[in-house]
Amino acid sequence: MFGKAKKPSESPKELMARLAIRGPYRVLRGDLGIVGMPGQVFTPSSSTWLPARKRDSDRWPAIAFGHSWLADSGRYRDLLYHLASWGIVVAAPDAERGVLASDKALASSLRSALDVVSHVPLGFGAVKVDPEQVGYAGDGLGASAAVMAASTLTLHGQAPRPVKSVAAVFPAPTTAELLPAAETVTAQGLVIGGSILDGVHANPLPLAVAYGGDVVLRTLAGGASADLVEKFGPGRLVGINGADRKVHAQVRALLTGYLLYSLTGDYEYQAFCDPEVVLGEFTTLDLDDTPDLLDPVSTLLGATPPKPKKDTATPA
């Protein structure tokens, strides 16, 4: 006889509020330079400072996170620390930080970083990653690189590896290879967009439409990649990272819940992969009924998209 399906203990609204604050695990930070790769790695510790849900395994899920254009992992310290505090190992390579950054090269670095944390014990040997619970995520340029990393492309001699999840946060248009590469991705996907759905600075809608696997496109009014990037300054000493507080809180809550479900299958967070569920201030776009958009040049010149035509019924 089958038992009843397990249900989350909290509503989506309560989960978003809880996931916006630090998780129960203490966090360890390391340097990828020890394996010859610039960047950082954040890992949860087995010790907690708050009560944590019982885990079924002694291994942890993991992602490789890609930074945006002209940024590095240091500009996402609080976000990556936050993910680790909820039990997700995060490797963030610092490749391709220049003006002529390559999405393919950054994607290749993401694959390398994920391979490293998947096979090398971390945190003095106490933290081990489950190689079956891994994925990619990124912001801006790094979001597009994350999709490329999950594709079937061979990148700088690196063969593709299977992953369970991809999260593209405020993805930016990069090269002509991006959308064809997205068509080959089979992992569960989440695309987070802002007010611009398709333009010279962001392309969440075309990316989600081209995505080969199951994908949900959620948009946050007024959100953009620049709102997520943290700034250096004395404010960090008192917990002010310089990023937009509202955007940062909404994105970190959604990203945390999505990764916990898509990587581990934890039923508590199943709403984060359900397009029918309203989460925070995000709006879910129906990819089968996309809005009419202007081309990037017209958008840049300040044109407004055409208003939808009203259906005109013919009298019987």
Query: Does the pLDDT at position 170 exceed 70?
Result: yes
260-274 average pLDDT score? 96
Q: How many CA atoms lie within 13 A of 2 on its CB side?
A: 3
58-62 average pLDDT score? 93
How would residue 309 be classed by pLDDT, with cut points 50, 70 and 90?
very low
CA dist 180 → 148, 290, 312 (Å) = 9, 19, 38
23 in Cβ contact with 252 (< 8 Å): no
Of 247 and 8, the structure prediction assigns the larger pLDDT to 247
214 in Cβ contact with 188 (< 8 Å): yes
For residue 5, tell me if it sits in a domain.
no
The pLDDT, as a whole number, for residue 35 is 83
Give the pair of three-digit tokens for residue 207: 């990316």
CATH number of the domain to which 109 belongs: 3.40.50.1820
Query: Does the pLDDT at position 313 exceed 50?
Result: no
Sign of CA dihedral 292, 184, 255, 275: positive
For residue 294, tell me if it sits in a domain.
yes
Of 29 and 5, the structure prediction assigns the larger pLDDT to 29
For residue 219, tell me if it sits in a domain.
yes
Mean pLDDT value across the chain = 89
Query: Does the pLDDT at position 165 exceed 70?
Result: yes
Q: Please list the residues that pair with 30 across neighbouring strands.
A: 41
The pLDDT, as a whole number, for residue 54 is 72
Residues 6+ apart with CB under 8 A from 56: none
Full domain range(s) for residue 50: 12-300
Number of domains in the chain: 1
The pLDDT, as a whole number, for residue 71 is 95
For residue 2, tell me if it sits in a domain.
no
**Distance from C-alpha of 154 to C-alpha of 143, rounded to nearest angstrom:** 18
DSSP codes of every residue in 233-250: SGGGGGT--SS-HHHHHH
For residue 275, tell me if it sits in a domain.
yes
- Residues 76-117: pLDDT tens digits? 999 999 999 999 999 999 999 999 999 999 999 999 999 999
For residue 107, tell me if it sits in a domain.
yes
- Selection from 191, 210, 206 nearest residue 137 by Cα: 191
Query: Does the pLDDT at position 244 exceed 70?
Result: yes
204 in Cβ contact with 170 (< 8 Å): yes
Query: Does the pLDDT at position 121 exceed 70?
Result: yes
How would residue 1 be classed by pLDDT, with cut points 50, 70 and 90?
very low
- Residues 289-301: pLDDT tens digits? 877 665 556 655 6
- Selection from 200, 207, 223, 214 nearest residue 280 by Cα: 223
32-54 average pLDDT score? 84
- Give the three-state DSSP class for 168: strand
The pLDDT, as a whole number, for residue 236 is 59
For residue 307, tell me if it sits in a domain.
no
For residue 314, tell me if it sits in a domain.
no
